[in-house]
Chains A and B, each alone.
Chain A
Amino acid sequence: MELTVLVIKSLVILAVFGITLLIATYSTYAERKVAAFLQDRIGPNRAGPFGLLQPIADAGKMFFKEDFIPAQANKWLFILGPCLAMLTALMSSAVIPFGDSIRYGSFEVPVQGIDVNVGVLYVFGVVSLGVYGVMIGGWASNNKFSLLGAIRAASQNISYEVALGLSIIAILMMTGSLSLRHIVNEQNGFFQWNVFTQPLGFVIFLTCAFAECNRTPFDLPECETELVGGYHTEYSSMKLGFYLFAEYINMFTSSAIISTLYFGGFQYPFMHQVHDALVDSLGSTVGHNIATGIGTAVLFGKIFFFIFFFMWVRWTIPRFRFDQLMNLGWKTLIPLSILNVVLTGAGLLFDKFKYATWLIVIVMIIMAATNAIKAPRRKPVTVPQL
């Protein structure tokens, strides 16, 4: 690698790192504002205009809180837990393609930390390490609530990881590559987006992403009605901050991965026409870079939509019970995703037909409709006349 390329890459990584932290910080603000909007409240509005300085105030408060370690805890594991959670959260954005490429002199540098040919595997490898952070933290606390929360988190994460891994196999079959950039380039054109070719895979992936991020309705590891604070009951100060922050970074990363895998990443309709027009009017370097910038902005728009979706679901769907969670993961999502793989394979072998999985969706809709019709009608409640 030429040194100039390395410098540009380092700058890209630095920018992505900074943007990740910034978005995670402001996700806490957005979460409170969205919650307030959905519950018809005002939300934070004291610190700065519209409460915009609230996350910074929160971070400052976190730093000045007492850094408490219980006497019966394993001290080093107790410190290692949140560090590991944060590290895995920060590492997973390295292979996500955030844009096409930057032209600089004779170089053409992709807007991506690193374009490995095993990008999907890298993401899964790093994400699955995330469970260690929670597990180590909960174990080291030597608190019953923490330990139960950590064990719940571990079994939930590993259960949904299987379905998560199975749901994207269909995409790999269509693209024939593990590189995330290749997958994005393959979704060339609006109806080529994987959400249209893989509707069922998308729904399974989205559900599993919620479970992997420990977000509602899958937030059993930290459900306050049963387990006080779950695995971070004993944590305080910035160690607690790391756990919460890692959750928001994971939300950002999984939104980015969902947009990359299913919503065409930095692609948007009429992208090539826009690119050609810009190159014609502004020259091949400036025009290309501006076109790349538009693509990156579009990707971030998709990411923000999915972050909003995470928050929207939080205030819409109540929490699962643990057996419901396990049944959904093992008995529904895994067989469904295997069926998805088989049907996609059959469709691809039969004249490269990509839209075969719509068959499952149609069958499921018909089944749901017949169930709804067959279900015993509840008698209309008669109001007694007084």
Chain B
Amino acid sequence: MEGFFMAFYRMGWHRTAANYVRFIANLRSFLSLLSMNTASYLPSDYIPIFIQLSLALGFIVVTMLVTHNIGPKRHSVKKDDPFECGIPTQGDARAPISIKYFLVAILFVLFDVEVIFMYPWAVNFMQLGQEGFIQMVLFMGLLLAGFYYVIRKGVLKWE
């Protein structure tokens, strides 16, 4: 037993262990310090989100590994082709498509930015009062004018 402790001592693990205990104690006091002011959010308050993230990731990775490994695997040239209702595959799937989808994406970027502008305004609506309301109506009016132009231009017309 004594030899074991001597070996433990000689390898310097007692210091590591002591450091570990001290680290845990520091962590605990740090965490309890954080819980004192709950009004302001500190990085440690987001620990639950990381717990949820690791749970979700664990579930997904394990399921994927299991399903990759227990199913049968049989390959053939015809079978590995992309499905095209039984006829031979014609060319690559990534052919040019209608520009409308792209225009919708651009419009989305514009309007989503507008929505994001409105969030902080909406949260402080009561404090900003009448002045803030008029400013936001003006902003939305300008945006809706652009929106009207886009519609008249036929961007959202689907043939």
Contacts and interface: CB of A to CB of B under 8 A. Distances in A.
Contacts of B157: 323
A346 B92 CA distance: 55
B57 A87 contact: yes
A208 to B, nearest CB: 12
A270 interface: no
B133 A162 contact: no
A323 B83 contact: no
Contact of A1 (B35, B72, B101, B151): B35
B129 A67 contact: no
Contact of B68 (A67, A121, A172, A322): A67
Contact of A10 (B51, B72, B111): B51
Interface string A77-100: 001000100110011011000000
A146 B71 CA distance: 23
A40 to B, nearest CB: 33
Interface of A: 1-3, 5-6, 9-10, 13-14, 17, 21, 62-68, 70-73, 79, 83, 86-87, 90-91, 93-94, 113-114, 116-117, 121, 139, 141-148, 151, 154-155, 158-159, 161-162, 165-166, 169-170, 172-173, 176-178, 228, 233-234, 237-239, 241-242, 322-323, 326-327, 330-331, 334-335, 338, 341-342, 345-346, 348-349
The 6 closest A-B CB pairs, nearest first, are: A323-B158, A71-B80, A238-B67, A90-B56, A172-B122, A143-B82
B59 interface: yes
A63 B66 contact: yes
A348 B108 contact: no
Contacts of A141: 82, 93
Interface of B: 28, 31-32, 34-35, 41, 44-49, 51-53, 55-57, 59-60, 63-64, 66-68, 70-74, 77, 79-85, 92-95, 97, 101, 104-105, 107-108, 111-112, 115-116, 118-119, 122-126, 129-130, 133, 136-137, 140, 144, 147, 151, 156-159
